[in-house]
Structure 1
Amino acid sequence: MNIAFTICSNNYLAQAKVLKNSINKYGENFKFVIGLCDEKSSEIDYDSFQCEIVEMKDIGIKNFDELWMKYDIIEFNTSVKASFFKYLLAKNPNTEFIYYFDPDIEIFDQLSILNAEFEDNADILLTPHILSSIPLDGYKPVENTFLNFGIYNLGFIGLRGHSENAKKLLDWWEERLLSLCYNQPEKGLFVDQIWMNFSPVFFKNVKILSKMGYNAAPWNLHERIGLVATEDNKYRMPDNSPLVFYHFSNFKYKNPETLAKYYDRYSLENSDSLKELYQNYHQKIIENDIERISKIDCKYVILKNSLPKKNKSFPEILKSSFNNLLKIIYYKIRYNYNYEPKL
C-alpha cells in the first residue's frame, strides 16, 4: 500500500478536495489522508470527502498547544509535517511509499510514475524550485529568491516507507520543525522548507527529481511555460515528460486571471494550455465551495487571539519598530524583496 496525504486547516479544504479527487483518479493502490491542523467545524460536511481526516491534536505531538501559541497559521501547518509522516507510518506498517502534497496541488497523471523514481535505491525524493538558471532581466522570480526560501519546494516530498534513511531524516526534521519552524528569512529560517537544503549532505539515497512534470508551478515557468495540453485533461512538458502534478501556489480564486501575486515573469496570456489549466482548477475549487469554506477561521487562531496579550513597554515597542525598519531597508537594497514584518 502507498499513502498520499496533505495538511491544512479548514479554510483550505476546497483545495484539498481537488487534490483528493485527483489522487483517487491517478493513484491506484493509494490511501489518501488529510491532516487537519484545526478542530472540526459544524460548517463542514467531512463525510463528503470520503477519506480519512485526522485532527492534528490527536497524533500525540508532545506540547502540541505550544505550537499553535508560538507559530502563525502557516508556520503551524508546516511544523507538524514530519510528525504526521511518522504517525501515518506507525499506523500503516505495510506502507511502501508515502508522499506529502500541499493542498493546492492537483495530480494529472499516474502516481506509479513517481513510484518508479525509487527503483534506483532512492529513499527520499525532492523537487527543486527550479531546474535551470533564470535570466537577469528585471522580472520575478530570480534565482536569489530561492536562496531566501530554500532550494527545494516542500509542497512535495516522497519517502520510501520504512527505510532507515527516511526514519533518520524524519527524526532530524521533526526536532527542528517543532522548535524552529518560523518564517524569518533574515535569520535563515523559512518554515519547514529551508532545512531541507541540508538533506543531500546529511542523508544517503536522496534523489533530486529533474523532470519538468514534477511540481510545475508559477516560480518555474521560465522553463515550463511551453507545456502543451493533450487529451483527457493531461499535459506534456517541454522536456517531453508528462505533467504529473502542478502546484497552484498563491492562486487567488477571487482574482483568477493572475498567476501569482509575487511573480511577474509570465501571465496566463502567455500560454493557452496554462490558461486552460488554471481555468479548470478555478472551476473545481468554486464547485468545492471555496467562497464559503475559505472564510472559516482556524479554531486555534481564534483561541490564540483570545488569549491575554502582554503589554510591551515603550522601549520594547521602539526597538521592535526600529528593527523592522532595518529589515525592510536591508531586504529592499540587497534582494529587491519586499519584507513584510510580523507585527
Structure 2
Amino acid sequence: MTPHFVTYFDSHYAAQGIAMLQSLRAWCPGARATVLCLDDTILHILSAWFPDGVKTLTIAQILQHDSRLVELQATRTPWEFYATTKPLVIRHVMETEVAQDDWVAFLDADTYFFSSPRDAFAEIPAHASTVLSPHRFSFDTIELERYGTYNAGFGLWRHDTRGKAVLADWATRCLEWCFNRVEDGRFMNQAYLNAWPQEHEGVQVLAHPGFNLAPWNLGRHVLRQASEGTQVDAEPLVFFHFSSVSRRDCGIWQTFYTYPEMSQPAVLDGIYSPYLQQLEIISERLLREHGIAGVGTQRKIDPATPMLVLRAP
C-alpha cells in the first residue's frame, strides 16, 4: 500500500517542506503528493522544483469548499487557520485524487524520511480505515499530553465510508474551534483525535517505533547507529518529526526541546546533522534561484525560552 501524501507549507518553510518531499521520493519512489501552497511564492517554487509527481493546491481553492473559511481566516492566526484547513484539504485530496478503498496520508512539512515506510504500511490490518500516530510521551514529557494523545502531524485515512466519516467529523470540529491554547480538552486540531478510537469504527493506532520519532518520545526508545541507518528499538527509523527547529540570523540551528535524550550522539549526529545539512543545501539554492532562505516559521518563540544548539555554522 502506497498512500497519496498530503502536506502544506508556505515560502517561509520552503526548505523544510522541500526536504520532506525529497526524502519521500527517495524512500517511496512513485509516491504521489499534493501540497497546499500557503502563498504564491511556494506555488511558483514547487512548480519549478517538482515538475511531475507533486500536485499543488492554493488557499483560494480550499476557500471555495466552505464559505465559513473566509470569515475564519480573519479571526484566527495564520497557524490556527492552517490547522483549521487540514481535514478539509485531506478530504479534498481524497475525493479528487484517491481511488475508492485507497489511502491518503497527511505529513507535516517538518518530517523527514530515513527509510521506506512500505513494510510498516503493509502491517496495517485490513479492517482499518483510519490510522493514528501516538505521541508516545516519555516520563519526562508526559506533561505534554494535555496537547493530545495522538500527533496530528501524521495520519492515514482510507477512501471508504468510515474514513470519510472521521474526516467529516474532524472538519466540523475544527471549523467550530481551532486555537493555539488548551481549553476544555481541546487544542488546535490535535486534541480532537483523542476520542476517535471510541467514537469511530476502524480506527487503528500505529505501533511501529520508527514512525514519527520525535523529541517528545525519544525517552521511550533505545536508539542505535547501525550500518544500515538508525535503529529504534531494533526497528528502522522511518521518519523523524523535526518539530520546532529554527535558525538564528548567525546561522546556529536550535530547538526549544532541551530534554537530555536530545543530546545523544545517535540523535544529534545520526538524525539532526544530516537533516540540517540538507536544509542548508536547499536554502542556498532557494537564495540563488528565488531570493529567499526558506527556513522561517509562523510559530512565534519567546526570546527568553531556553534553547538547545543543534548545529553551529
Task: Give the alignment's Cα RMSD to 1 decimal.
Answer: 2.5
Amino acid at match of 2:131: L
Deviations 1:29-59 (A, max 9, x none): 4201111233446984641133222112213
SS at match of 2:8: strand
2:115–2:236 Cα contact (<8 Å) kept: yes
Q: Which residue of 1 aligns with 2:151?
A: 153
SS at match of 1:57: helix
Aligned pair partner of 1:193 in 190, 195, 208: 190
Aligned pair partner of 2:161 in 161, 164, 167: 164
SS at match of 1:292: coil
d(CA) in 1 for partners of 2:212, 2:298: 28
1:78 aligns with 2:74: no
Amino acid at match of 1:22: S
Aligned pair partner of 1:265 in 260, 264, 284: 260
SS at match of 1:94: coil
In the alignment, structure 2 segments of 5+ residues that lack a partner are 287-291, 300-313
d(CA) in 2 for partners of 1:263, 1:188: 26
1:19–1:106 Cα contact (<8 Å) kept: yes
1:229–1:273 Cα contact (<8 Å) kept: no
1:165–1:203 Cα contact (<8 Å) kept: yes
1:110 aligns with 2:110: no
d(CA) in 2 for partners of 1:94, 1:195: 27
Distance 1:256 1:154, change over 3 A: farther
Distance 1:36 1:103, change over 3 A: same
SS at match of 2:260: coil
Relative to the length of structure 1, the TM-score reads 0.75
1:207 aligns with 2:240: no
Q: Which residue of 2 aligns with 1:11?
A: 12
d(CA) in 2 for partners of 1:251, 1:297: 12
d(CA) in 2 for partners of 1:288, 1:204: 42
1:23–1:32 Cα contact (<8 Å) kept: no
Residue 265 of structure 1 deviates from its aligned partner by 3.4
Q: How does 1:237-316 map to 2 (within 5 A)?
A: 237-238=232-233, 240-254=234-248, 258=254, 260-268=255-263, 270-289=264-283, 292-294=293-295
Amino acid at match of 2:152: L
Q: Which residue of 2 aligns with 1:321?
A: none
d(CA) in 2 for partners of 1:26, 1:271: 24
Distance 1:101 1:45, change over 3 A: closer
Residue 16 of structure 1 deviates from its aligned partner by 0.8
2:262–2:268 Cα contact (<8 Å) kept: no
d(CA) in 2 for partners of 1:174, 1:45: 27
Q: Which residue of 2 aligns with 1:2?
A: 3
1:216 aligns with 2:220: no
Amino acid at match of 1:61: H
Q: Percent identity?
A: 23
d(CA) in 2 for partners of 1:38, 1:202: 36
Deviations 1:255-289 (A, max 9, x none): 7564x304433332x23454231011111111111
Distance 1:90 1:52, change over 3 A: same
SS at match of 2:112: strand
d(CA) in 2 for partners of 1:192, 1:14: 24
- Which has the higher Rg, Structure 1 or Structure 2? 1
1:214–1:245 Cα contact (<8 Å) kept: yes
Q: Which residue of 2 aligns with 1:320?
A: none
SS at match of 2:105: strand
Distance 1:105 1:37, change over 3 A: same
2:132–2:205 Cα contact (<8 Å) kept: yes
Deviations 1:303-340 (A, max 9, x none): xxxxxxxxxxxxxxxxxxxxxxxxxxxxxxxxxxxxxx
1:182 aligns with 2:179: yes
d(CA) in 1 for partners of 2:194, 2:230: 30
d(CA) in 1 for partners of 2:43, 2:196: 41
Deviations 1:138-168 (A, max 9, x none): xx52x1321x2000011100112x1211111
Amino acid at match of 2:277: Q
Distance 1:41 1:212, change over 3 A: closer
Residue 171 of structure 1 deviates from its aligned partner by 0.6
d(CA) in 2 for partners of 1:200, 1:271: 37
In the alignment, structure 1 segments of 5+ residues that lack a partner are 135-139, 299-343
1:121–1:205 Cα contact (<8 Å) kept: yes
SS at match of 1:91: helix
Answer 1 or 2: which has greater strand percent: 2
